[in-house]
Amino acid sequence: MLEVIFLGTGGIMPTRERNVPAIALRYNGEIILFDVGEGTMRQMNTAKLSPMKVEKIFITHFHGDHYLGLAALIQTMNLWDREKPLHIYGPKYTFEFVQHFLNSGFFRPGFKIHVHELGETRLKFGDYEIWSFKVEHGIPALGYVFKEKDKRGKFLPEKLAQYGLSEGPILGKLEREGKIEWNGKTIYLEDVTGPRRKGVKVVYTGDTEPTERVRLFAERADLLIHEATYLDPAHRGDSYHSTVEEACEVAKTAKVKLLALFHRAFRYTYDEYLSGASRICREFGVNFIVPRDFDVLTFKSGKFNVRNLPEERG
């Protein structure tokens, strides 16, 4: 099962109402972090997420609101006697900036930290892959795709009966090897299973101006988390950010199932932003949410359902 947990949903600076960017993906017991703005450790405590279960951190770019929580997170891991290595991924200069962090103050981690600088890269991890792609933010910056591997279809009882197969080790061999010899015939896995099931796809843009690469990598995503800092293009100035309208346009052309509008500027209240976004997204016919801190999206039966942790706990 996949859960997307929004630990910080605003941009630029934290406010009383929301923190700066950090997203946790929880998949089969592992927690993967995308960005670690200041205060991420506190947000994880509130969400009851253990930093000891984090093996990979993906940083989109090195503006403070996206990475300044990294030092606190690493020092907490060290305080709790972490032994497992930590992998940190990011754009050009990631190695240099992480080394500055690790060499600051009277502190040295007691566990290994592996730093990986990425371009447009495809990383394979067991049941899922993570792809990085370049975005446009005026500095080296990346977006990321989490893509679960497609799964085989279910065994079809009527097809098994047709070939004289039943539950047992022989089906395990068929699943592992893709084909077996049985009663003088070669039987392929596809002969006795239904259609393959598409793995879930989640795309996170980080901070970016509108770019064709986002649309290409977001094609038919189950969830697109697109920065949409501003409601009004006039508020953008010369910053390298996107508006709600631009994010909606990407979601529509890429045929995205659900758009999460992310990185809201602190000039807008939540209600003001939600009202403006609702009007714009309706015009595009886009299914969208404006996540709050501690909203959780759970992927089940082919779609994401949303809940909020503090509300859930009363």
Detail the residues annotated as belonging to a binding site for Zn(2+): 61, 63, 65-66, 137, 207, 263
- Of 35, 65, 293, 295, catalytic: 65
Residue 30: how many CA atoms within 13 Å on its side-chain side? 13
Q: Which residues pair with 151 in a beta bridge?
A: 197
Nearest partner of 210 among 276, 153, 254, 265, judged by Cα: 254
> In which element (H, E) is residue 162 found?
helix 157-162
Tell me the β-bridge partners of 3: 26, 298
Q: How far apart are CA 295 and CA 50, in angstroms?
A: 17
The CA R_g of the chain, rounded to the nearest whole Å, is 22
Hey, is 13 helix, strand or coil?
A: coil
Q: Nearest CA to 261 among 21, 64, 16?
A: 21
CB 236 within 8 A of CB 269: no
Q: In 3-state terms, what secondary structure has residue 264?
A: strand
Rounded to whole angstroms, the Cα distance separating 230 from 263 reads 9
Torsion angle defined by CA atoms of residues 286, 287, 291 and 297, in that order, rounded to the nearest 10 degrees: -140
Residue 222 a catalytic site member? no
Distance in angstroms (rounded) separating the CA atoms of residues 274 and 255: 22
Cα first-last separation, the chain: 24
Rounded distance, CA 312 to CA 314, Å? 6
Binding site as annotated, residues = 61, 63, 65-66, 137, 207, 263
Residue 82 and residue 110: Cα distance in Å, rounded? 7
**How far is residue 121's CA from residue 123's CA, in Å, rounded to a whole number?**
6
Looking at the annotation, which residues are catalytic? 65
